């Protein structure tokens, strides 16, 4: 698995992580829990570390905490979650609940979800980082409309991480956000790498380009992920799944050769033309 350094510290993270929106919100469903457990096991076995959750993702935090503990992965995973509420006390309570659900004394990355009450929450996150309750802090959003604000926050607040949407067909982040993150040594997590499944619908029954083998892409998922993680400012992409075969397929997007700038343009052009 290819790794990238967190710019602020040099700590390495594999370029393919694991999102948990919907996929790990299985509650007490035995079959869903078993699928999530196997996916998490395979994820770690394949070299994955970063797993991203949120209190707005239903039971996902609790499921991650239980499975990571059951599998003995608490010291291996890089656990990221979010604060998603207004008010100082409300934020503190929510983060304490998240830590309890995740069964963690310290959260690796705490992010302000969708920039909700970010000024208030950022003060708390800085205090928690100073106390050692979290290791890194950041901001998240999932829409292009928030990119300008995220770029401004990188410049003014210098977060450790920023998380946002970027894909082979949604390249807006290349204009300002990704360059600003690189300039200010901010690590980047990418959400919605498959556009919520829209990309797979777009390429259904369509062949990979004949040159896909040159960058060792055996599937469309790998094609989409290699486009993303080949951008030098991207630290890690976090596709969400609890299906083992999809998990293993996704992990292949972080191995082997990555496309250069010329090939990246060819990839985007090929998908656009479909």
Dump pLDDT digits (tens) for 144-199: 999 999 999 999 999 999 999 999 999 999 999 999 999 999 999 999 999 999 99
Q: What was the pLDDT predicted at 246?
A: 97
Q: What was the pLDDT predicted at 104?
A: 97
- 138 by DSSP, 3-state: which? strand
Burial class (CB in 10 A: 0-12, 13-18, 19+), 251: buried
Q: What was the pLDDT predicted at 172?
A: 98
Classify residue 37: in a domain, yes or no.
yes
Classify residue 74: in a domain, yes or no.
yes
Q: What was the pLDDT predicted at 237?
A: 98
Classify residue 4: in a domain, yes or no.
no
List, for residues 19-58, the tens digit of each pLDDT value: 999 999 999 899 999 999 999 999 999 999 999 999 999 9
Classify residue 237: in a domain, yes or no.
yes
Classify residue 31: in a domain, yes or no.
yes
Residue 141 neighbours by CB distance under 10 Å: 21
Burial class (CB in 10 A: 0-12, 13-18, 19+), 86: exposed
Residue 238 belongs to domain spanning: 12-273
Q: What's the number of domains the chain is made of?
A: 1
The enclosing domain of 195 has a CATH number of 3.20.20.100
List, for residues 97-130, the tens digit of each pLDDT value: 999 999 999 999 999 999 999 999 999 999 999 9
Q: Please provide the average confidence, as pLDDT, over all residues in the chain.
A: 97
Query: How many CA atoms are closer than 13 Å to the CA of 246, on its beta-carbon side?
Result: 15
The reply to whether the predicted model has a pTM over 0.75 is yes
pLDDT band at 231 (very low <50, low <70, confident <90, very high): very high
Instruction: With CA atoms as reference, report the closest residue to 173 among 147, 206, 195.
Output: 147
Contact 84, 57 (CB under 8 A): no
Q: What was the pLDDT predicted at 228?
A: 98
Classify residue 43: in a domain, yes or no.
yes
Instruction: With CA atoms as reference, report the closest residue to 63 among 24, 19, 106.
Output: 24
Classify residue 77: in a domain, yes or no.
yes
pLDDT band at 89 (very low <50, low <70, confident <90, very high): very high
Contact 32, 26 (CB under 8 A): yes
Give dist(CA 192, CA 197) in Å, integer.
Answer: 9
Classify residue 188: in a domain, yes or no.
yes
């Amino acid at each position: 698995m290819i790794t990238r350094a967190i710019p602020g510290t040099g700590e390495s993270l594999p370029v393919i992580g694991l999102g948990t929106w919907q996929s790990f919100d299985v509650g007490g469903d035995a079959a869903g829990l078993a699928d999530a457990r196997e996916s998490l096991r395979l994820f770690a076995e394949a070299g994955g570390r970063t797993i991203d959750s949120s209190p707005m993702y239903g039971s996902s935090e609790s499921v991650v905490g239980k499975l990571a503990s059951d599998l003995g992965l608490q010291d291996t995973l890089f656990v990221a979650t979010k604060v998603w509420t207004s008010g100082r006390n409300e934020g503190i309570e929510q983060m304490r609940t998240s830590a309890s659900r995740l069964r963690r004394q310290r959260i690796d990355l705490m992010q302000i979800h969708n920039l909700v009450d970010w000024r208030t929450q950022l003060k708390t996150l800085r205090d928690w980082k100073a106390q050692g309750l979290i290791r890194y802090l950041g901001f998240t959003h999932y829409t292009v409309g928030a990119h300008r604000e995220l770029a401004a926050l990188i410049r003014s607040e210098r977060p450790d991480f920023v998380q946002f949407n970027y894909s082979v067909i949604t390249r807006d982040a290349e204009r300002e956000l990704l360059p600003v993150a690189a300039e200010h040594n901010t690590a980047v997590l990418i959400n919605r790498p498959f556009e919520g499944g829209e990309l797979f619908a777009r390429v259904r029954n369509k062949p990979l380009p004949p040159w896909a083998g040159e960058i060792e892409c055996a599937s469309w998922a790998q094609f989409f992920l290699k486009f993303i993680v080949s951008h030098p400012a991207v630290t890690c992409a976090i596709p969400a799944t609890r299906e083992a075969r999809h998990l293993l397929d996704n992990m292949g997007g972080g191995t082997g050769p990555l496309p250069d700038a010329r090939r990246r343009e060819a990839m985007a052009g090929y998908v656009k033309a479909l």
